[in-house]
Chain A
Amino acid sequence: MTIQVVAVALAAAVFIAAGLAALAWKMSGRVEASGHGEASAEPGTFRAERYRPMERLLLAEEFESLAAQPGFTREIGEQWLRGRRKIFRVYLGQLKRDFHRLHASARLAVAESGEESAELVGVLIRQQIVFSVAMTRVELRFAWSALGFRPMDIRPILQLIDSMRMDLERFAPQSA
């Protein structure tokens, strides 16, 4: 038993020490970079139109409308769903990337602003945690729905984005 504890402790110590060295290495390299890695205070243009097709992709009404057509078969329905889910996943990935890009820009803006933006730091940390949890839940539900067990509900992610918007609106005027 002692040997196992020693082995696990040493493995954990090596892992943490290597992680610390890597962190220090990454931090030391950041100084001479021209920017801040992938983040930029100019987040670029976010186009809502890009996600408009998502609204209808997996609507139950769409599927019911298709199922009501003459000649509809189960195979046709499954093929239709497979295609729609594939496209939905691509959009979901893009949505995630957009969130991370916008969030990184917000972090950079806060990091480079004055003391009055201190409250935004906590807001950004909370947003990141909640987003990660909500996205994981959506991914799990998406996978579950793909197996044909139940309809997909993406409301948690919508609630999150809404609270994120409200938080930022509340604090943005102070971040000058």
Chain B
Amino acid sequence: MSLVQVISALNLAASFLLLARMVASKLFRIYPLLTAFISVDAIFSVCMAATPIRSNFYSYLYMVGTTVGLLLSIGVVMEIFSGALAEHPALAKFGSRVVGYVLIAAGFIAAGTLQLDEGIPKGQSVILHRFFRAERTVDFGEVLFLVGIGLFLIWFPVRVKKNIAYVLGGFGVYYMARSAGLLVINLLPPGYQRAVDNSMLGISFLCILAMAWLLRAELGQPVQVVRRDSAAAEHLTSQLREFNSAVARLGRRHI
């Protein structure tokens, strides 16, 4: 049994462990798209394990599985986004207004990296090269979006469920590793592909295992948020007015 087969088997085992955890703790009801994503990934992994690695069918299977996975992953990212802001109506409403723009911006930035692997290394399949290129760009766009969500949540201080934080971290690291790995595959000669594949699979295994270990049913309960009345905002306004008048007096001619 080769190293890649061992790591693939470990990935599959971790995926089933995570699925079992999600079903047992009823998290699949809260995160249906994440559950679907892991299920689809596991199903395609099983199919690919039963297919000769050097066959055309294996490549097609990879491309179909990855495309379905990518579409689901966009849904998972949106699931993380809406889950994180579920307890904060003002932020959720603002988020729903700007999410399209943020996705477009993330897509543009990610597309800016397309030129990095324009050239096709000798011996690499043209179709696979282009597919990897498209896949890693979408992956990177998703990572940028997740970074944006994370920074936004930390900046406000927003209370989120621990599960949301773990899924954001696990999913983000997983896709960052994939994006970087596929770029490296597209840049280096085919001889390096196996080592890069093993690295990507290793990181994927760690991410799935971490999520399987960390996700807990009880932590999926809604976060208790203390609602504020207008008095807090009014107090702040008066404080900021004071602040302004203090600074306004500095608006004279200084040395």
Q: Residues on A close to B: CB < 8 A?
A: 2, 5-6, 9-10, 12-13, 16-17, 19-21, 23-28, 30-31, 36-37, 39, 41-43, 45-48, 50-52, 54-55, 58-63, 81, 84, 95, 98-99, 102, 104-122, 128, 145, 151-155, 157-158, 161-162, 164-165, 168-169, 172-173, 175-176
Contacts and interface: CB of A to CB of B under 8 A. Distances in A.
A37 B159 CA distance: 11
Contact of A109 (B94, B143, B232, B248): B232
Interface residues of B, number: 71
Given A58-B254, A109-B232, A157-B247, A27 B168 contact: yes
Contact of B89 (A39, A41, A114): A114
Contact of A112 (B225, B250, B251): B225
A175 B159 contact: no
Contacts of A176: 229-230, 233
B109 to A, nearest CB: 12
B90 A116 contact: yes
Contacts of A48: 242-243, 245-246
B65 to A, nearest CB: 23
13 contacts: A17-B173, A25-B165, A30-B159, A43-B239, A46-B242, A104-B157, A107-B156, A108-B157, A112-B227, A113-B90, A116-B90, A154-B250, A173-B230
A55 B250 contact: yes
Interface in B147-171: 147, 150-151, 153-162, 164-166, 168-170
Given A30-B160, A176-B229, A169 B166 contact: no
Nearest to A114: B89
A161 B157 contact: no
B205 to A, nearest CB: 15
Contacts of B147: 16, 19-20, 23
B184 A27 contact: no
Contact of A172 (B156, B169, B188, B234): B234
